Amino acid sequence: MTNSPYTVLFSAGEASGDQHAAHMFQELQALCPSIKGIGMGSSKMRQVGIDIRFDSASIGVIGVIEVLKHYGEIRKALKLMKQIVAKQKPDLLVCVDYKEFNLKLAQFAKRQGIKVLFYVSPQVWAWRAGRVETYGKAIDMMAVIFPFETAYYQAKNVPVRYVGHPSVDKVKPLRSRDQDLQLFGLDSQRPIVGILPGSRGNEIKRMLPVMLQAAQSLAQRHPNLQFVLPQADSISDEVLQSHLQSCPLAITVVKQQPYDVIQCCDAIMTTSGTASLEIALLGIPMVIAYRLSPITYWLGTKLVKIPFIGLPNIIAGKSIVKELIQDAVSAESLAAEIERLLDDTDYRQACLQGLAQVKTELGEGGGSKNMAELALEMLSGHG
């Protein structure tokens, strides 16, 4: 171990990865103040002092068509990151999610003799279990965020560590529910429905119009309902307002306080992804809805090996939250499920019990700190 400060190269391609890497780096700095962070990421990583060499805001896309559209930009990013690996020889490469891109980068780094820590396992359990060995050859350690994932890597003798899910620590409202209701101008006597249309532009385009139609249909039958929408940092006012201006409903839009908004809700319509897990951790009944481009969806049906797409259901190993996918997504189906969650006491109770089970399953948290400790172990040669 040398006295010179370590340099860690981070590679995060999406908003969630940007956040995970930022939290991890903060914990790293607390343990090793001289540590230096460089790499690809966005605003959250920049805020904690990581030297951003490529802003990933432009390449955080999902789906085959979307990736093809941004292919030139993604290639440029990969080329730059490989150059950094070759020229700067960081002490450790931390790849955060963004699987195909990071697999290529990890393979390159490995050939250059750089240690690789992969954070957030690709969902090998969902589609291609054969990928475990491919990743195993490209990395020195796989850090997984779901307890059930370790078995897949252990079976192939790939070094793996369960570090805990970052959301467990992160999902903490700033205030009490009563304080939030007052702050957001919501009436505690009237039911509140949350609308979470996603954090990517293409999700908003596909999901928000149908969610707003569902909200209108609910409002016609239940005039006392209130609607709230937590605006994701990655979605501009212009994009959001272009959808909301044609909607006659009063919808309370709140920025930068998603967990406070979620805890106010009695039921929520959400896209799949991390949001569904965060809602589960806060114990709010929900319906998960998702649409992909037809080609991406068709490919998914051929490749995906599990019966669910919603993280709460995947973790529970059974259906605890209704999923509406592709053609099953309609204003009617969304509205009907929200109504059931609000009106059917037994159904609501069963959902709440399932969500409590998910929370227990995910354990105590400390994911970012565990990651920092694991990274330091690897840096000092013990990992």
Task: Name the residue ranges covered by the structural domains of the chain.
Answer: 7-164+366-379, 177-362
127 pLDDT above the threshold of 70: no
Would you call 178 exposed, middle or buried from its count of C-beta atoms within 10 A (0-12, 13-18, 19+)? Answer: exposed
61 pLDDT above the threshold of 80: no
Architecture of the 7-164+366-379 domain: 3-Layer(aba) Sandwich (3.40)
> pLDDT by residue (tens digit) across 180-193?
999 999 999 999 99
CA distances (Å), 243 to each of 195, 209, 236, 240, 288, in order?
A: 13, 7, 12, 6, 20
Residue bearing the bigger pLDDT, 125 or 230: 230
Domain boundaries 177-362, corresponding CATH code: 3.40.50.2000
Whole-number mean pLDDT of the chain? 91
pTM: 0.78
Residue bearing the bigger pLDDT, 65 or 234: 234
195 pLDDT above the threshold of 50: yes
> pLDDT by residue (tens digit) across 160-171?
999 998 889 889
CATH topology identical between 7-164+366-379 and 177-362: yes
Residue whose tokens read 């570090």: 163
**Cβ-contact 118, 95 below 8 angstroms:** yes
161 pairs with which residues across the strands?
143
Taking residues 64-90, what's their average pLDDT? 89
pLDDT class of 306 with cuts at 50, 70, 90: low
SS3 of 198, please? coil
